[in-house]
Structure 1
Amino acid sequence: MSALQVANAIEIAWNPSSDQALKSQAFEYLSQLRSDPSGWPVCLNLFTKSPPQPEIVRHASLEIVNSAAQAGMIDLASLAVVRDGLLTYLRTVYGPDGTAAPDAPYIQNKIAQTVTFLFSALYANGWETCFDDLLGLTYKSSASSTRDNPFGIVFYLRVVNSIHEEIGDVLVSRSRGEQDKANSLKDLIRERDMQKIASSWQEILSAWRDADDTVVEMCLKAVGSWVSWIDIGLVVNQTMLDLLFQQLGRAEKQELREGEQRVRDAAVDVFTEIIGKKMKPADKIEMILFLNLDSIITQLSNSPPARKPIHLQVRYRSG
């Protein structure tokens, strides 16, 4: 097979005006490609090729790589090849001194899904630098001293949120083996990288708190989702709380932009998750007193947007 054949098949399959007979042949070809061990390298090259292929070709190509990986058709050594190819691409597009235009959000989500699978397979098997590699994308240049690259930051946060869904989201149904693996990966993150991840949240919120609502909202969502399974002290500390209170302060405004509303709601969700975290009852009470929760609720209740529903749910879970 050739890259040209694969690209043509994808374009025919997803072109609404394609001849139905040709479309059927294209779908059949792509179906066979998914089960062909020689298919994924061609598709990986199609995705990372420069100049870039049409978006539908790139999205479908990466989906075929994902399918092969999840079906166990790519061994660990070859998964490392996929990782290296994607990291090279990500540094070219999102990293320091990147020159290419960022991908559409739906393609970024597909790349984040692939990176999450690679993390799951390789973090305990040779990819110890996973978070260092991703954090490297958050700088505009090698000389940057602050996390000043919005495109790289957004992609990093997409992966961080995707990793939580993979290993930390309690609403996701997992087999016993899958849950054991998720727990092992969470332990490994706590041991290796949790401090630097939490520090990155503080750095991002500090640098972008008034500059980009999308960055701030995504960062708050990461904090709110991860807080259930990390050391509470990484979030409930004066530096982080000051940053969170600054975002809650938007509730004082008479009128909020749409992005500001989402940021405010994400900040409320962080406090909801903090209060809902499993803790010993005495520790929970001590934390509530430290947070001065009564003051937070009063602030929200007296704010102009409170005429619209804002709910800070206090859940006393002990464990």
Structure 2
Amino acid sequence: MDEQALLGLNPNANANFRERALAYFEQLKVSHDAWQVCAEALAKHIYSDDHVKFFCFQVLEHQIKFKYSELTALQQQLIRETLITWLQAQMLNAQPEKTFIRNKAAQVFALVFVTEYLSTWPKFFFDILTVVGLNPRGVDLYLRVLMAVDAEVVDRDIIHTPEEARRNTLLKDTMREQCIPNLVESWYQILQTYQHTNSELTCQCLEVIGAYVSWIDLTLIANDRFINMLLGHMSVEVLREEACDCLYEIVNKGMDPVDKTKLVESLCQVLQSAGFFSIEQEEDVDFLARFSKLVNGMGQSLVISWTKLAKSGDLKNAQDTLQSIESKVPLMLQLLIHEDDDISSNIIGFCYEYLHILKQLVMLTDQQKANVETIMLAVMKKLTYDEE
């Protein structure tokens, strides 16, 4: 590689060196085989400079994104082997790679995944798990790869072409059939191993679960062993915000309205027993903002369940769900009147949807009338406060 050009990768290099580095990058991108030099540099750890390593991953990323179909089967195999060799080395390095390198590596892994999983690399996740085991550095990279795969395949904020959308659907279907139960088991093992010793890995794993729960079989996560572990995390200061977000994604998952009501009700009973409904005793506003979002999600989920049951004529279960909604109103009101806007604004959706339900009822109880009055007073108070 052009050692002089590589000097320009350093952010502190002068303008001439930076221009030369940029030109060199463009030169490598159009070259048919220069990417192999970068692959070799990563596999054999030829360079110790972080910017050069990042540069090498960028060259591979471009090759996979735009020229992968031009490669021979042996060249594609070389990329797979380079990534696995690099991953194996991370278990042995004296120091972990910088975060920006790990994230870029995860993106490159994810690009290879979407390109090869359905054809030549069906054991993609199994191969990674075989390498990393429960090694903390390996687990970190494994979880970053999973989030990068989610960004490529699932993230709704990213606009995909119709062809990419079809590919992504097929990828998810194939993952459900071939590896999701194994991935879920790996998440449980990671949580069990690190929940008391490594909060960063535990939070990363909770983030992965929250991302994947929207499209995998909910029973793999919404079961006693996972829910009990997540509820335990709610009592650990460094874990509870991420646990809150994970529970939010679980209750947000579409499911049978009766089952949803039972799930939300069981979660609420445990949270209430653990003292989480005593809002005035909680001083951590960042956690309360996450908790308010969770309560809002539970409330809105119950409203959706009630609407479905009422429309289908299942009056008995609709009434049970309405009672479940009503039992959350005192908690909703505590969050609504909180002086912190992040906390109160997160519960507004549940408030309005609850009021919409009451508008549909023929007669209101005295308690329901009182709830309406309290909600309206709280909203007016917040609006007046904001104007001041």
- TM-score range normalised by the length of the shorter chain: 0.7 to 0.9
Structure 2 counterpart of 1:226: 212
Q: What does the per-residue CA deviation read over 1:14-50, in whole Å, with 9 as the maximum and x for residues that have no partner?
A: 35343x4454334223212211112211111122333
Q: What does the per-residue CA deviation read over 1:271-301, in whole Å, with 9 as the maximum and x for residues that have no partner?
A: 1111111223233223324x33244256323
Alignment pair present for 1:296 and 2:271: yes
Of 145, 158, 173, the residue aligned with 1:159 is 145
Structure 2 counterpart of 1:56: 51
Q: How does 1:75-154 map to 2 (within 5 A)?
A: 75=71, 77=73, 78-94=75-91, 98-139=92-133, 147=134, 149-154=135-140
Aligned-residue offset at 1:193: 0.5
Structure 2 counterpart of 1:253: none
In 2, distance between residues paired with 1:31 and 1:81? Answer: 22
Structure 2 counterpart of 1:287: 263
Q: What does the per-residue CA deviation read over 1:80-127, in whole Å, with 9 as the maximum and x for residues that have no partner?
A: 321111101211222xxx355321111011110100011111111121
Aligned-residue offset at 1:13: 4.5
Count of equivalent residues? 292
Alignment pair present for 1:173 and 2:159: yes
Of 57, 65, 68, the residue aligned with 1:70 is 65
Structure 1 counterpart of 2:177: 191
Q: Amino acid of the residue matched to residue 125 of structure 1?
A: S
Corresponding residue SS for 2:235: helix
Q: What does the per-residue CA deviation read over 1:153-174, in whole Å, with 9 as the maximum and x for residues that have no partner?
A: 1111111111111112222221
Q: What does the per-residue CA deviation read over 1:207-231, in whole Å, with 9 as the maximum and x for residues that have no partner?
A: 1111110011001001111000000
Q: TM-score, normalised by structure 2?
A: 0.70
Alignment pair present for 1:8 and 2:4: yes
In 2, distance between residues paired with 1:63 and 1:49? Answer: 17
In 2, distance between residues paired with 1:219 and 1:42? Answer: 34
Corresponding residue SS for 1:134: helix
In 2, distance between residues paired with 1:197 and 1:91? Answer: 19
Q: TM-score, normalised by structure 1?
A: 0.84
Of 31, 34, 40, the residue aligned with 1:36 is 31
Closer/same/farther in 2, CA of residues 279 and 121 from structure 1, 3 Å limit? same
The sequence identity of aligned pairs, in percent, is: 24
* Worse-superposed segment, 165-174 or 220-229: 165-174
Aligned-residue offset at 1:196: 0.7
Runs of 5+ consecutive residues of structure 1 not aligned to the other structure: 140-146, 251-255
Q: Amino acid of the residue matched to residue 33 of structure 2?
A: S
Q: Is the 8 A contact 1:202 1:243 kept in 2?
A: no
Question: Higher Cα Rg: structure 1 or 2?
Answer: 2
Runs of 5+ consecutive residues of structure 2 not aligned to the other structure: 309-388
Of 264, 267, 285, the residue aligned with 2:243 is 267
Corresponding residue SS for 2:234: helix
In 2, distance between residues paired with 1:102 and 1:189? Answer: 30
Q: Is the 8 A contact 1:47 1:53 kept in 2?
A: no
Q: Please state which structure has a larger fraction of its residues in helix.
A: 2
In 2, distance between residues paired with 1:115 and 1:182? Answer: 16
Aligned-residue offset at 1:131: 1.0
Structure 2 counterpart of 1:278: 254
Tell me: higher relative CO, structure 1 or 2? Use CA pairs within 8 A at least 6 residues apart: 1
In 2, distance between residues paired with 1:9 and 1:297? Answer: 61
Q: What does the per-residue CA deviation read over 1:253-288, in whole Å, with 9 as the maximum and x for residues that have no partner?
A: xxx4xxx1xx21110011111111122323322332
Q: Amino acid of the residue matched to residue 64 of structure 1?
A: V
Aligned-residue offset at 1:72: 2.3
Q: Amino acid of the residue matched to residue 78 of structure 2?
A: V
Q: Is the 8 A contact 1:47 1:57 kept in 2?
A: no
Aligned-residue offset at 1:234: 0.6
In 1, distance between residues paired with 2:271 and 2:25? Answer: 55
